[in-house]
Amino acid sequence: MAKKLSKPELFEALGYKPHAGQILVHRSTAPRRVLACGVRWGKSTCAVMEAAAALLQPREACLGWTVAPTLDLARLIFQRTASTLLRKMRHRVKLYSPREQRLVVVNLGGGLSVLEGKTADNPTSLLGESLDFAIVDEVVRMRESVWTEHLSQRLLDRRGWALFLSTPRGRDFFWKLFRRGQNGRDKDFESWSSPSWANPMLDRAVIEEERGRLTAEAFASQYEGQFTGEDPDPCDVCHGPSRDVPATFLLREGEAIGRCAECGRSVDARGRTIVKRHSNGTASVVVIELRERRGEPAEVHFSEAAADQRGPVLTAPGGPALEVDV
């Protein structure tokens, strides 16, 4: 059996020069990798090269899937992988069937490696096989059950890896996968988020022109690669927003509202959340500022209104309103 494949040498042979963000993904050995980036960042190209490397890795046999919500989307990474190997290493392609979405390659060890394109619109078709790897594209358009009930089990006995790709949207299932790869929450996960302009082939000035044509939320999602909307889960550090804290917080003179280093929300002097999670899902905090002067009655300043997602407004006597983000 030949020695272990060198990705840098393979990429050079394939004419692929990954940018800095793609290199991080290729170097990772995490069993579960999550790539949440802006449009045209190069997510699909990164996945194609990961598939090519997996297929050519020396071993007796290998089976991998590319999975997407629809048949048309499933074809994209599958066909690009096949085209890359047909163009650069045709002598290693034993079988290519676009109709069946099946590619058979003779790997560097002489074994047979198989890549199949699958669609998630019929999850029962994802049952039965044991996989060495799975590349899951456009995850935001999939039901969570496709992974939890159909795909994840296919990787167990061969200790296979999975690569999840998508442009982020809201705090959905893809967000949950991404979050597991941040700050060491799950040792088997690693995740990355990056804006479209991290791709050196794109002109940032052209991208910036789109900022004025889209809502702030749409631009943040599509081009900045950010998850938008309210996070439904409590912070791992301050545990907020929480249903268990009071709806109001008493701020004494000399004290200040702090910020959680993890989520950036309001915390008390001990680093505990002061943000209330309401039954309707919104989060807010009403701050009561207590000012005490020797020999004078204490002054109490209420927020003008209960906070929404941005926080309350405190009115200081003789001064401008102070806005406090939750």
DSSP one-letter code for 29:
-
Runs of H (alpha helix) within 170-270? 173-180, 204-211, 216-222
Residue with tokens 């394939």: 14
Secondary structure of residue 27 in the 3-state scheme: helix
For residue 315, the surrounding DSSP H or E stretch is strand 313-315
Distance CA 265, CA 49 (A): 39
Phi, psi of 25 (to 5 degrees): -70, -45
Phi, psi of 139 (to 5 degrees): -60, -30
Distance CA 190, CA 181 (A): 4
> Which residues are CB-neighbours of 79 under 8 A, at least 6 positions away?
98, 117
For 326, the token pair is 């939750």
Is 230 catalytic? The answer is: no
Catalytic residue among 138, 190, 224, 289: 138
Distance CA 38, CA 225 (A): 4
Distance CA 219, CA 241 (A): 26
Q: How many CB atoms lie within 10 A of CB 97?
A: 11
- Residues annotated catalytic, as ranges: 138
